[in-house]
Amino acid sequence: MERETGAREGLKGWLHPGKIGKFGIERLAWLLMRLTGLGLLAYFIGHIYETSHILDGKAVWDKSLEMTQTTEGHLFLALVIGMCVFHTGNGIRLMIAQMGYGIGKAERPDYPYKPQSINMKGKACIYATLGMAALAMWYGMAVMFA
């Protein structure tokens, strides 16, 4: 019985930049969906921890708020805005696709077998979501650094 060499790629299967080059924008959207999901989860936990300081009095609360009033804090919050917008927009695209809409119709395939589920509608949605996330980050930074 052979050993499990090469049985799974592990994190390399997620993060290798060559995968995005080989598999296209859908693979990038998949990766960003995972990373933004993990990022937002981490932010949520940090946010609960930060806001819990309100129980320790006004001085402690004000000090904890100061953490995000720095240049680094603003950049971090801009990143959170971007993650939030991308995760929401791409999540809506995925929900619609997973209900069977916008992925084409099953039919007899003809060579050269272009998969219908990977189509321009989906790609346009991904690009639009990336654009919206960038716009929201830009607007957020414009407000925070004003």
Q: Which residues in this chain contact another protein in the complex, by CB under 8 A?
A: 2-14, 18-19, 22-24, 26-27, 29-31, 33-34, 94, 97-100, 103-104, 106-111, 113-118, 122
Q: What is the nearest approach in angstroms of another protein to the Cβ of residue 89?
A: 14
Nearest to 97 by CA among 124, 115, 117: 117
Q: Which is nearer to another protein, 5 or 69 (CB)?
A: 5
Q: Which is nearer to another protein, 14 or 139 (CB)?
A: 14
DSSP 70: S
Q: At 50, is the secondary structure helix, strand, or coil? A: helix
Q: Residue with structure tokens 């996330």?
A: 133
Q: What is the nearest approach in angstroms of another protein to the Cβ of residue 88?
A: 15
Q: Which is nearer to another protein, 23 or 145 (CB)?
A: 23
What is the distance between the alpha carbons of residues 41 and 74, in angstroms, rounded to a whole number? Answer: 19
